[in-house]
Amino acid sequence: MAQQKPFDFSNLFASFDPQAIAKQFQDSFGGASIPGIDPTKLLETQRKNMELLMSTNQEMLAGSQALVQRQANMLQEAIAEVTAAAQKLANSGDAKDVSAQQVELLQTAFEKALANSNEISNMIRQTQESVTSQVNNRISESLKELKETIAKVK
């Protein structure tokens, strides 16, 4: 049986084409001109912005898919561990042994849950940091481009 990917959003972005959007922008404002502003540079800036939007959306999508997949794996691991623990407890005869094993299982489960929580948090943080860095870089570039454009208008 083939394993389905939960929450596969790749089809959602399949038809998104930043080049087509830039072309629509160019067609819409192709006849308009602002004195001292190079429309080609303006379109290039918008193209870069759309490419950033697309790449960051794809990165967030990939991060979300990896997160969901990892959570599904964690759930499968937890089910297997609970099943093994239940079998182990069922085979124990002494009440003291059962109690000691239960405490040990609780400790192990708590440590595993904490480790899983940290792993999930790190996955989210890494994706957010990467996307934020890309956006910050593009904003800096855009401000530089704007500054250069304004300097040419004078």
One-letter-per-residue 3-state SS of 37-97: CCHHHHHHHHHHHHHHHHHHHHHHHHHHHHHHHHHHHHHHHHHHHHHHHHHHHHHCCCHHH
Please write the tens of the pLDDT for every residue from 117-127.
999 999 999 99
Give the residue-averaged pLDDT of 133-138.
94
The confidence score (pLDDT) of residue 8 equals 58
Q: How far is CA 117 from CA 3, 66, 92, in A?
A: 25, 15, 31
pTM (two decimals):
0.65
Q: Is the pLDDT of residue 4 over 60?
A: no
Please write the tens of the pLDDT for every residue from 52-97.
999 999 999 999 999 999 999 999 999 998 888 888 888 877 888 8
